[in-house]
A = this chain, B = another copy of it.
Amino acid sequence: MTQNIAPLGIIGLGTMGRNLALNLADHGVPLVAWERDGALADRARSELPDGTIWATEAADLARRLAAPRAVLLMVTAGAAVDAVIDGLRPHLQAGDVIIDGGNTDAADTARRQKNLAADGIHLIGLGVSGGEEGARRGPALMAGGDPAAWDRIAPMLRSIAARAADGTPCCERMGGGAAGHFVKTVHNGIEYAVMQALAESYDLMRHGLGLEMAAIGETFATWNRGPGGGYLVEIAADVVRTRDSDGAPLLDKVVDRAGQKGTGRWASLAALDLGVAAPSIAEAVFARAVSAARDDRQALAADTPDRVQIAPTDLE
């Protein structure tokens, strides 16, 4: 017999999910929690309050939620979201709300919203900004989807959000459809562009002007105190100044290959599809693409006897 009932379910208790759950618990939101991975579940169980209800499967989770149900998904963006939704769907009914708090492509959110609408189930795409620390202490939340569904779940999310100086919670519905994930994607596109500009300025100072790492670190720190400052400039200063145990700049030892999770690319794809010019965001994505080809660079680095040198041509 399952008698415990809560207003919000949460599926996925990795770093982000656990921190949001702890934040919700701090604000008195009773939770039904479900995490497949034993180790992650154990860790979350040891940190979440005793009143947390633990589900063992999708049907169990759905049963323990007050109708209309609200379920927050904090699983890895992509196929895992589809899998969890497919498993959950038979146990939901019209009026229930799924909230996807992952780093999801807005196009996927729009597709899933349309698909779930056939059963009257709402999907709110929720962009969560602020990283781990934000999730735990006060994330910025950018939502998209049905306004009535949002109104029902918004109070719980507003309670855990960061607050502006005047106390306003940083928790807004940006519009219908996938607006929340779209805005989060654009936000990350800006971050890509700012990091690219920081990399270009580093290169200008290091290889153009020939500054030492320490001087570049001072420069970024100086800039951070001026109008161009911000968190990314601040951590750039820290990164550049960090030294390895042997005293050498750590940055010189970092493997020359930048990864990407996809959000900058999605912002560029959206720009192309919407007919909006976003060249500096695209530049940042292309620079990461070049960076990613480290295997090619290694293969080409060898000065074997058969390598051919080409001089600039008479065409120029």
Contacts and interface: CB of A to CB of B under 8 A. Distances in A.
A205 B186 contact: yes
A165 B71 CA distance: 44
Contacts of A209: 174-175, 179, 182-183, 274
Interface stretch (A4-12, A85-93, A219-227): A219-227
Given A201-B190, A306-B244, A311 B276 contact: no
Interface residues of A, number: 110
A175 B205 CA distance: 11
Q: What is the total number of copies of this protein in its complex?
A: 4
Interface string A275-316: 111111111111101101110111011010011111110111
Interface stretch (A36-44, A55-63, A125-133): A125-133
A279 B301 CA distance: 24
Contact of A287 (B198, B277, B311): B277
A216 to B, nearest CB: 9
A277 B263 contact: no
Interface of A: 103, 129-132, 134, 140, 142, 162, 164, 170, 172, 174-175, 179, 182-183, 186-194, 196-198, 200-201, 203-205, 207-211, 215, 218-219, 221-223, 225-233, 244, 250, 253-256, 258-265, 267-287, 289-290, 292-294, 296-298, 300-301, 303, 306-312, 314-316
